[in-house]
Amino acid sequence: QVQLVESGGGSVQAGGSLRLSCVASVYIDSRHCMGWFRQAPGKEREGVAGIYGASTDYADSVKGRFTISRDNAKDTLYLQMNSLKPEDTAMYYCAVNRAWGCWKYLLRGDSYNDWGQGTQVTVSS
């Protein structure tokens, strides 16, 4: 089982930026999928961004504003969030899927096996 620890959340005003990080306890190969998900109070969990090798996928609501990246040497996943909006307020989680074929389901939370504890992002208007 992989342990994941997120950091970088906080409170910002609309239009601001944050960079989330997620460090894994074991080596994560570039052929493994990693993703960022979020859940706001009273709402379902939403896939925000996913990465497999050099391929990425994003939710429509964050395209052009968020960028997912990974540093395999550091076993770390990042999410650069720019032009933040109040509707981006949520708990953000990173997750790993090491199963073959994971690239088919980059934004599907139920396909991921290991999850972090989350980091809170709050955007005020």
In sequence order, the 6+-apart residues with CB closer than 8 A to the CB of 32 are 52, 96, 97, 98, 102
Distance CA 26, CA 57 (A): 24
Do residues 22 and 50 lie in contact, with contact meaning Cβ atoms separated by under 8 Å? no
Q: pLDDT by residue for the chain (125 residues), tens digit each?
A: 899 999 999 999 999 999 999 999 988 888 899 999 999 999 999 999 999 999 999 999 999 999 999 998 999 999 999 999 999 999 999 999 998 889 999 999 999 999 999 999 999 99
Among candidate residues 73, 89, 79, the one with its CA nearest the CA of residue 39: 89
Among candidate residues 72, 75, 70, the one with its CA nearest the CA of residue 25: 75
